A = this chain, B = another copy of it.
Amino acid sequence: MAHHQPEDLFSVNARGLKPSAIEAIHKLLEQPGMRSLAGAWPDPLVFQTDEIAAIIAELLDKQGDQALQYGSTRGQPVLRQALADMASTQLGFECSPQQILVTSGSAQGLDLACRLFIDPGDVVLVGLPSYFGATATIASHGGINVGIPLDEQGIRTDLMAEKILTLQKEGKRLKAAYVIPNFQNPSGVTMSARRRTELIDLAERFQFMIFEDDPYGELRFEGGHLAPLATLDTSGRVIHFHSTSKTFSPGMRVAWVAAQAPVIDRMERLKQASDISTNSLSQLVLLELIRSGRLQGGIERNRAHYRGKRDLMLGLMDQHFPKEVHWTRPSGGFFTFVTLPQDMNSDDLLIDALEQSIAYVSGPSFFVDGSGQNSFRLSFSQASVEDIEAAIPCLAGLIKKRL
């Protein structure tokens, strides 16, 4: 019998795991003096730290037993009621508390949805570009990410039917489409109302699920709220993932998923097998922020804050970037996406930028087909005003040098 190391016992899915782009970015951010436009964490300047501290002090005084104890897997019942009310009044889709599962970040919601729907070899349609955390989660379950191009209206639903028919001919099983309809990561693009309806129709025609990831939806700087896909869904095909990491706190790891009850029932069982329950204290803090109206107040301050940083970044780009370069104009969220001339490589440019202590995330991380070599993501969420003011003109100079 051959001698096996632990590594020889790894599962098939685990063997295919690639190092995460997220960790590589964190390492960049840790370098002293780095002016990073790479990080997509929220800005601590807008954390409601004092309000959260006051809420926690009162919670531990009055409900300490509950805040420190296990809770039910589906989530604290009163919080699920509050989230269902908020979904209906603010997001425009009716759902009951039984259709809500509280998760440890919306990343966990997507992970559970993948466990529920994805067998190895199953296909998920994703944007070109798309958030690499999500495509990594899909791949970790053996799912195959198939890219569909984006334009300024969002994912190109007009190209989907043909792609799906090709996949069917190849004997591939399509299980879902993963989209971030609002201020997409990394493109900053918002899916138009028409595209949303078209995607719903395609899901119904070809019978696949829609994973609707909405971490940025509340951070709209201008223009009207567009109905979430979950609102347009009439046949229970949409699973809506709602983060609070960009409005409350990412470190507190609390988010929620809304879907039809049979889907939520199974996701609850998978969560039970996965981490038993979400942090109780975080749930009760979120509940109190919602009940007191302070979450909404915080969101409004967040909007103003990030709008200011977006305006600063886009203004400097308008002023300094050469005309050969194009970028998106997001009406919310954290990102603008830059397209360089066809023959300029964003990885090469990044080497120049890092020498000037400027970081961004190069395009290929976001393209599951390996394309995007002449593109990169700039984030205005985490960088300070000073960093944005220093980095953009410098980056413009580096681009011009390569033109």
Contacts and interface: CB of A to CB of B under 8 A. Distances in A.
Interface of A: 1, 3-14, 17-20, 22-23, 26, 41-42, 44, 47, 49-50, 52-53, 56-57, 60-61, 64-73, 103-105, 107-108, 111, 115-119, 122, 133, 136-137, 139-141, 175, 207-209, 236-237, 245, 249-253, 260, 262-263, 266, 268-270, 272-282
Nearest to A260: B6
Given A6-B237, A10-B117, A73 B275 contact: no
A154 B14 CA distance: 31
A193 to B, nearest CB: 24
A378 to B, nearest CB: 19
B22 A44 contact: no
A71 B12 CA distance: 29
Oligomeric state, in copies: 2
A108 B275 contact: yes
A33 B71 CA distance: 19
A4 B207 contact: yes
Contacts of A26: 72
A236 B64 CA distance: 40
A31 B390 CA distance: 62
B71 A60 contact: no
Nearest to A205: B1
Given A20-B272, A274-B137, A14 B117 contact: yes
Contact of A107 (B105, B208, B274): B274
A252 B276 CA distance: 12
A281 B10 contact: no
Contacts of A270: 14, 17, 140
A66 B260 CA distance: 36
**Which of A23, A133, A274 has the most B CB atoms < 10 Å from its CB?**
A274
A56 B49 CA distance: 11
Contacts of A260: 6
Interface pairs A-B: 8 shortest CB-CB? A251-B280, A44-B65, A49-B64, A140-B273, A68-B249, A53-B60, A108-B275, A70-B250
A279 B262 contact: no
